[in-house]
Amino acid sequence: MASPYPDGDREKVASKLPSALQQALKVRAAELSLDIQDAVEAAINDWRHGTSGGAEVDTAGARSFSTWLPPGLYEQFKETCTDRGVSYTQGLAQSIRGWLDANPSPQHGARGTDPERKIVGNQKGGVGKTAISAGIGEAYAEAGKRVLIVDFDPQGHLSEQLGVPQIEPDHDSLVSHMCGDGSGDLRDLVVEIKDPRFEKRLHVLPACFDGFLLDAKIAVVAMQKRGFQKEAALELALRPLEADYDVIIVDCPPSLGIAMDAALYYGRRRRGEAAGGSGVVIPVLAEDSSATAYGMLAQQIEDLCEDLSLDIDYLGLVVNLYDSRRGYVATSSLDNWKSLGDPKVLAVIGDLKEQREAVRKRMPLLSYAPQSDQAEAMRQVARGATR
CA–CA dist 355, 374 (Å, integer): 7
The answer to whether 357 touches 368, Cβ cutoff 8 Å, is yes
Question: What confidence tens digit (pLDDT) does each residue in 321-367 have?
Answer: 877 777 877 888 888 888 888 899 999 998 888 988 998 999 999 99
Radius of gyration of the CA atoms of the chain, in A: 23
Eight-class DSSP state of 230? G
- pLDDT at position 8, please? 53
Which of the residues in the chain have pLDDT under 70?
1-8, 31, 51-54, 105-113, 226-227
- pLDDT at position 53, please? 64
The answer to whether 368 touches 354, Cβ cutoff 8 Å, is yes
Nearest alpha carbon to residue 308 among 350, 366, 269, 348: 269
- pLDDT at position 238, please? 94
Residue partners of 109: CB distance under 8 A and separation at least 6: none
- pLDDT at position 2, please? 43
- pLDDT at position 291, please? 83
Mean predicted lDDT score pLDDT of the chain? 87
Residue partners of 92: CB distance under 8 A and separation at least 6: 15, 16, 17, 44, 65, 77
- pLDDT at position 222, please? 74
Q: Which CATH architecture has domain 116-384?
A: 3-Layer(aba) Sandwich (3.40)
